[in-house]
Structure 1
Amino acid sequence: MDTTLRDGEQTSGVSFSAAEKLHIAQLLLTELKVDRIEVASARVSQGEFEAVKKITEWAEQNNAIDRVEVLTFVDGGTSVDWMQKAGAKVMNLLTKGSLNHLQFQLKKTPEQHFSEIAATISLAISKGIKVNVYLEDWSNGMRNSKEYVYQFLDFLTIQPIQRILLPDTLGVLNPAESFEFIADLIQRYPKSHFDFHAHNDYDLGTANALEAVGAGVHGLHVTVNGMGERAGNAPLASVIACLKDFYKDIETSVVEESLFSVSKLVETFSGFRIPVNKPVVGENVFTQTAGIHADGDKKNNLYFNDLMPERFGRIRKYALGKMSGKANIENNLAALGIHLSDEELKKVTQRIIELGDKKEVVTQDDLPYIISDVLDSNSIEEKVQIINYVLTHSKELRPSVTLKISIDGNLFEEHAQGDGQYDAFMKALEIIFKNNGKSLPQLKDYAVRIPPGGDTDALCETIITWNNGVKEFITRGLDSDQTVSAIKATQKMLNLI
């Protein structure tokens, strides 16, 4: 069960719009093919209500309404009414899974709590709503008040509910405890369906989820990119990859090839950036840096494991920098369709190592320029050169640019205004290219960074992602002026296309 749209949205600073929630819900159920999704908490806001209504209307039309779940509360029927109005048919009722929470937060006896839960379950079922029950703080309950948990589960096993949901609410469990506690409950209550809901406070979410599976748990709760409160939840991609590779007798419906694309979409909608080293979906996880590894890949795939990038709709890359060896560079050159002699390759390798020592980022797109510079060759020429430009920015006047460029030796000059200096530059460029019957690729992403603690004169790196209608590619520019670094990145793009 994916809870990106409920628990994942509790990530600090994240709030999906109703349209974004609907789109993510559709992708989770139809493209990724998770079994169930938890899409909201009842009673939170009018916006949340509208989002759930959109999702349930779509789910009804697509025979998926029983796969859409909502977190609800023991609140005298208010949540049930909310569910009915929103069109939801499955509720995940939040209850107290530890004596500590029951006594100090609700200030009630177990008998009082159970009675109110029974009334809520009965009301929901009378309205045609299926019920699952969360035991909030269950992990601490098993540690510190196990008899209360048993008493609670004895009560739940005679209730007309579908699933019992066991959350490690504060992310405190270790793998051994996860196995021990769940195996205990599976043995005690063999007819009950248990789901495990792992949090990642100790970076053990995936490990705990796997131990839960080993103990016989019937369901797992995950989120895209591990989103969630504090350190987040068990990440969907990592859990699916581990289940496939380490539990050969376990099958899931999740489509591995869609994990990366859905991950990137959720990253865009949430603004919650994926760490570059995050397993399966991180930008760097299928990138070899060390030259010896690249060499081994060419010799019977010595540095491959079962996590092949193609499984996830991705490709293997070979980083360029001071750790690069000849094999790394050969792999990148092959991708560009460039062949060099041994002597030429040696010179290019040395230059890349020198750049890496200066901590400069070297990409595959930079290789033609490095080759041209090192070999003093015209085989890869700069057909487009930005000859000159004047950038202006004045108070209460629109930024403007006067631009002169050379294309295949022909000079062109244009003036334009824009919302910023770089926007004005791009508008002038577009006019020149349009007048020449050409079009520019679409700018998809624009990122700027300087070294940590950098002063006002620090080098500024601008990284721009373009899409030419066939594929996305990235160019980088480096300068002490942000706009100039963007212009340098743009000139690289112009020559690549």
Structure 2
Amino acid sequence: MGKRKIEIMDTTLRDGEQTSGVSFSAAEKLTIAQLLLEELHIDRIEIASARVSEGEFQGVKGIMEWAANKGYTDKIEVLSFVDNGISIEWMKKAGAKVQNLLTKGSLNHLTYQLKKTPEQHFNEIAQAIALAKENNIETNVYLEDWSNGMRNSPDYVFQYLDFLTQQPVKRILLPDTLGVLIPSEVFDFVSTITAKYPNTHFDFHAHNDYDLSVANAIEAVKAGIHGLHVTVNGMGERAGNAPLESTVAVINDFMHDVDINVKESSLYSVSKLVETFTGYRIPANKPIVGDNVFTQTAGIHADGDNKNNLYFNDLLPERFGRKRKYALGKTSGKANIEKNLQELGLQLNQDDLKLVTQRIIELGDKKQTVTKEDLPYIISDVLDSQSYEERITVESYVLVHAKGIRPSTTLCLKIDGEVIEENAQGDGQFDAFMNALAKIYKSKKMSLPKLVDYAVRIPPGSSSDALCETIITWTNSGKEFKTRGLDSDQTVAAIVATQKMLNVVSV
């Protein structure tokens, strides 16, 4: 027996746009629609609500003109209303061919919002469906608040379904409008309905108010549902809708009797584009598309990955157009660093690797994030420090910078075991540090090289604020040389570079 096909309907452009503060331009809507259908291979997309605005009308018109040239018009749907044909007229002008008619799926909504009897409501729905058919518009029907209808007025729901399954509709859409269902209820409700009406196509539309949208969608699949509604990044009002990316991954990995069309490898790129268009940031720990979800932080995990992929699961990043990363911080071990070095094409001996690991842990203790791009600079800093003997060390210092007071530094310097302390003011903290250093060197009748250039940068390509590299050019007896300091603080990095200079010239 072949696999059962499940349709995936994406409603990012309609329900997803109800995310607070999100509104797509017509051009953005067209771009997303094109990517959903052509790049991700989504079966159907719901792109708008009828009658909303002129901007919405122009957006739908543009998408439908493109879709007509591509042969996609039956894949594009618009939410419509029981409104004496106003929605149908709007759709005709926009070129839309499929309506998702919003109707009442609970007696509570029907009685208190519409103040109508079931018979009155059904009669108006029949007219809306007939009018759509006259105008060559296909009809799917939403049962708004269906989940509460099944809980509190199941007799009404089945009375309505008995009527609706006799109408010329293609699909019946069952939304958990308020996101109130738990997985066991979804399974019970959907399996009862699909068994009772075996010749009707049903979709399930989940909301995520209890963080159960994906679990509920999977239970609907188990119960015999024919289609699922999702949004990119789980966008939608309140806590959002079932996220496309997680729903697809779970179906592919755990629902072995089910087949879907979605192209997994394009999920991440489309997710990031929607993030850019909406400004609605993806949490770093969001499954499948979050920045951190394929990042191993613990060194033991990187070690295990080197030894037969011990910490891999089926969610391999390459499936989604991504790569595994190994974070660098206070829990990093040598294995994490080796993984990052491999990607950069670098190798270190074990002694040097140990020193670099220690430096990264020190930065991690400062709660700094270290990226792969920082590694060459850390290596350079650590290995450079081994090239001379440290006769002179900056033991401690106090840097004072306050409004209305000249910056000052108290410096404690150790020279060949002797500790000397001095205080000085300057035009800035580092200038004050250098003035204090000059006092110490004058008292010891030692000459100090002259600072001729001072440059500060973060490592190119680094996306973190962990490291600041200070490169200082000095002149001594007519010869120029450079020293480099690396730290999370610009002034401290300059002090590190200065200590290196003191030791270089003392050799």
Secondary structure of the residue aligned to 1:376 is helix
Structure 1 CA distance for aligned equivalents of residues 31 and 165 of structure 2: 36
Q: CA deviation at 1:378?
A: 10
- Deviations 1:417-467 (CA, angstroms, capped at 9, x unpaired): xxxxxxxx99xxxxxxxxxxxxxx9x9xx999xxxxxxxxxxx8899xxxx
- Please give the alpha-carbon distance, in whole angstroms, between the structure 2 residues aligned to 1:477 and 1:268: 32
Quote the offset at 1:171 in angstroms: 0.4
Is the contact made by 2:329 and 2:361 (CA closer than 8 Å) also made in structure 1? Answer: yes
Q: State which of 62, 69, 73 in structure 2 corresponds to 1:61.
A: 69
Alpha-carbon distance, 1:357 to partner = 1.1
* Equivalent position SS for 2:174: strand
Q: Deviations over 1:76-133 (max 9, x none)?
A: 1100000100000000000000111111111111111111101110101100000000
Q: Quote how far apart the aligned CAs of 1:250 are.
A: 1.1
Alignment partner, residue 388 of structure 1: none
Q: In structure 2, do the counterparts of structure 1 residues 140 and 368 end up closer, same or farther at CA, with 3 Å as the change threshold? A: same
SS in 1 for 2:290: coil
Provide the residue aligned with 2:50 in structure 1. Answer: 42
Q: Aligned partners of 2:134, 2:205: CA distance in 1, in Å?
A: 28
Deviations along 1:355-404, one digit per CA (max 9) or x if unpaired, are: 1111011111111111112121699xxxxxxxxxxxxxxxxxxxxxxxxx
Tell me, yes or no, if the aligned pair for 2:371 and 2:463 is still in contact at 8 Å: no
Aligned-partner Cα distance in 1 for 2:467–2:376: 19
Indicate the residue corresponding to 2:353 in structure 1.
345
**CA–CA distance in structure 2, aligned partners of residues 209 and 462 of structure 1:** 45
Distance 1:50 1:461, change over 3 A: farther
Distance 1:290 1:373, change over 3 A: same
Matched residues in 2 for 1:134 and 1:225: separation? 23
Deviation track 1:472-491 (CA, whole Å, cap 9, x = no partner) reads xxxx996699xxxxxxxxxx
CA distance 1:478–1:346, shift in 2 (3 Å):
closer
- The residue aligned with 1:401 is none
Q: Which runs of 4+ in 1 moved over 4 A?
A: 460-463, 476-481
Contact 1:372 1:378 in 2 (8 A): no
For residue 245 of structure 1, what is the aligned residue in structure 2?
253
> Alignment partner for residue 117 of structure 1, among 121, 125, 129?
125
* CA displacement, residues 137-182 of structure 1 (integer Å, 9 cap, x when unaligned): 0000001110000011001011000000000000001111111100
1:145 matched residue in structure 2: 153
Matched, 1:263 2:308: no
The equivalent residue for 1:204 is 212
Name the aligned partner's letter for residue 379 of structure 2: I
How far apart in 1 are the matches of 2:487 and 2:229? 42
1:446-465 alignment to 2 at 5 Å?
Answer: none
Work out the percentage of aligned pairs sharing the same amino acid. Answer: 70
Whether the 8 Å contact between 1:138 and 1:169 is mirrored in structure 2 is yes
Instruction: Kindly indicate whether the alpha-carbon contact (under 8 Å) linking 2:91 and 2:97 is maintained by their aligned counterparts in 1.
Output: yes
What is the CA–CA distance in structure 1 between the aligned matches of 2:228 and 2:368, rounded to whole Å?
A: 43
Tell whether the 8 Å contact from 2:340 to 2:372 is kept in structure 1 after alignment.
Answer: yes
Letter in 1 for 2:141: V
Aligned mates of 1:49, 1:135 — CA distance in 2: 24
CA distance in 1 between partners of 2:344 and 2:309 (Å): 21
Give secondary structure in 1 for the equivalent of 2:10: coil
Aligned to 1:279: 287
SS, match of residue 126 in structure 2: helix
Partners of 2:83 and 2:52 in 1: CA distance = 13
Q: TM-score, normalised by structure 2?
A: 0.76
Whether contact under 8 Å (1:447, 1:462) holds in the other structure is no
- 3-state SS of 1:200 partner: coil
Is the 2:97–2:137 Cα contact (8 Å) retained in structure 1? yes
Letter in 1 for 2:126: A
- The TM-score normalised by the length of structure 1 is 0.77
Amino acid aligned to 1:80: I
Contact in 1 for aligned 2:100/2:142 (Cα 8 Å): yes
Residue aligned with 2:99, SS: strand
Distance 1:377 1:335, change over 3 A: farther
Equivalent residue number for residue 127 of structure 1: 135
Seen in structure 2, the aligned counterparts of structure 1 residues 462 and 123 have a Cα distance that, compared at 3 Å, is farther
Q: Distance in 2 between matches of 1:344 and 1:477?
A: 19
Amino acid at match of 1:156: L
Alignment of 1:174-189 (within 5 A): 174-189=182-197
Partner secondary structure for residue 114 of structure 1: helix
State the alpha-carbon separation in 2 of the partners of residues 256 and 365 from structure 1: 28
* Structure 1 contact 288–294 (Cα < 8 Å) conserved: yes
Is residue 159 of structure 1 aligned with residue 142 of structure 2? Answer: no
Q: Distance in 2 between matches of 1:478 and 1:357?
A: 11
Alignment of 1:338-377 (within 5 A): 338-376=346-384
After TM superposition, give the deviation of residue 220 of structure 1 in Å. 0.2
| Paired position in structure 2 for 1:30 | 38
State the number of aligned residues.
400
Kindly tell me: are residues 308 and 14 of structure 1, through their superposed partners in 2, closer, same or farther at Cα, counting changes over 3 Å? same
Check whether the contact 1:98–1:148 (CA below 8 A) recurs between aligned residues.
yes
Q: Does 1:70 align with 2:67?
A: no
Name 1:106's counterpart in structure 2. Answer: 114
Shift of 1:14: 0.2
Counterpart-to-counterpart distance in 2, 1:477 and 1:196: 54
1:264 Cα shift? Answer: 0.5
Distance of 2:36 and 2:105 partners within structure 1? 29
Counterpart of 2:227?
Answer: 219
Aligned CA-pair RMSD: 2.5
- Larger Rg belongs to: 2
- What does residue range 397-412 of structure 1 map to in structure 2 within 5 Å? none
Partner of 2:337: 329
> Structure 1 residues 480 and 125 mapped into 2: Cα distance closer, same or farther (>3 Å)?
farther
Q: Is the 8 A contact 1:165 1:194 kept in 2?
A: yes
Aligned partner of residue 345 in structure 1, secondary structure: helix
Q: Who is 2:102 aligned against? A: 94
Report the residue type matching 1:113 in the other structure: H
Gaps of 5+ in 2: 1-8, 388-451, 469-485, 492-507
Q: Secondary structure at the match of 2:58?
A: helix
